[in-house]
Amino acid sequence: MLTKRIVPCLDIKEGRTVKGVNFVDLRDAGDPVELAAIYSATGADELVFLDITATVEKRKTLVDLVTRVAQKINIPFTVGGGISSIDDVSALLNAGADKVSINSAAVKDPQLINRLAATFGSQCIVIAIDSRKIQGKHIVHTHGGRKPTHLETIAWAQEVQDRGAGEILLTSMDHDGTKAGFANKLTALLSTKLTIPLIASGGGGTIDHFKRVFTDGKADAALAASIFHFKEIEILDLKKELQEAAIPMRL
């Protein structure tokens, strides 16, 4: 049986993890490769690296990081953050990334999704959608959720699927950082409408929140960052409890 996926997300800047992490057993808490290895060994199903580097050296440092991660890690991983061209994607996939996640660049040039899917196959093209509610409507945001667009979340998700995206990473900016639970209603709306897998992100704070994003939210995967980094929830404990709640998990 296909299992639901638990996905820790690492924020990266110039090849280093940004947010503090609380792993006493890490020799170097800022080394994403070491952190990734620990997650991989302790039950994570997949990893996401979100790069927020904003320098001209960005591509090179990110490709270096992807190479080091791919050498060490034997679970799939996705790389995102400022990826905007076929060349960017080609360099990252050739370095060993399994998938790339595109956000603002797809909003700016939706045709990019078609080109990427045709060049590399849908399976490695993840479209990240940052959504925030404005006057009762779910609106797509770019630039880390700061800049509203004219796009409605559900229509945009449908469009990116039609253009060849292989997966959607939905972050509810209203829930992100709150630890008050995922955006289950919106997640379920999208997940039942789409035929491609959906990763839910934003708001996971307790084991029960994860339970609900898989049952009420019908998500295929759930992503979180700080609760894993600070060991508020151990991935293995989380997966065991979800399995007991009849949510299929790889244990």
**130 near other proteins, judged by CB under 8 A:** no
Longest dimension (CA), the chain: 48
For residues 14 to 53, the per-residue mask of contacts with other proteins, x marking binding by CB under 8 A and - elsewhere, is: --------------------------x----x--------
Dist CA 199 CA 213 (whole Å)? 10
One-letter identity of residue 199? I
Closer residue to other proteins in complex, CB, 218/240: 218
Question: Would you state the structure tokens that stand for residue 102, as one six-digit string?
Answer: 């595109």
How far apart are CB 139 and other proteins at their closest, in Å? Answer: 25
Window of 11-19, 22-30, 90-98, 204-212 that interacts with other proteins by CB under 8 A = 90-98
- Which residue among 34, 51, 88, 98 contacts other proteins (CB under 8 A)? 98
Contact between 243 and 27 under an 8 Å Cβ cutoff? The reply is no
CA 132-114-80 angle, 5° bins: 50
The verdict on 247 binding other proteins (CB under 8 A) reads no
CA distances from 29 to 14, 48, 137, 224 (A): 14, 17, 40, 18
Toward other proteins, which CB reaches closer, 180 or 251?
251
Q: What are the DSSP E strand ranges found in 14-118?
A: 16-17, 47-51, 77-80, 99-102
Cα–Cα nearest to 32, from 15, 9, 19: 15
Q: Is 192 in the site for other proteins (CB under 8 A)?
A: yes
Which residues inside 48-67 make contact with other proteins, applying CB under 8 A?
Answer: none
42 within 8 A of 236, measured Cβ to Cβ: yes
> Among 57, 86, 121, 178, which residue interacts with other proteins (rule: CB under 8 A)?
121
Minimum Å gap between C-beta 47 and other proteins is 11
Q: How far is the CB of 2 from other proteins (least distance, A)?
A: 5
- The answer to whether residue 130 is catalytic is yes
Q: Which stretch binds other proteins (CB under 8 A): 10-18, 29-37, 95-103, 148-156?
A: 95-103
Catalytic residues: 11, 130
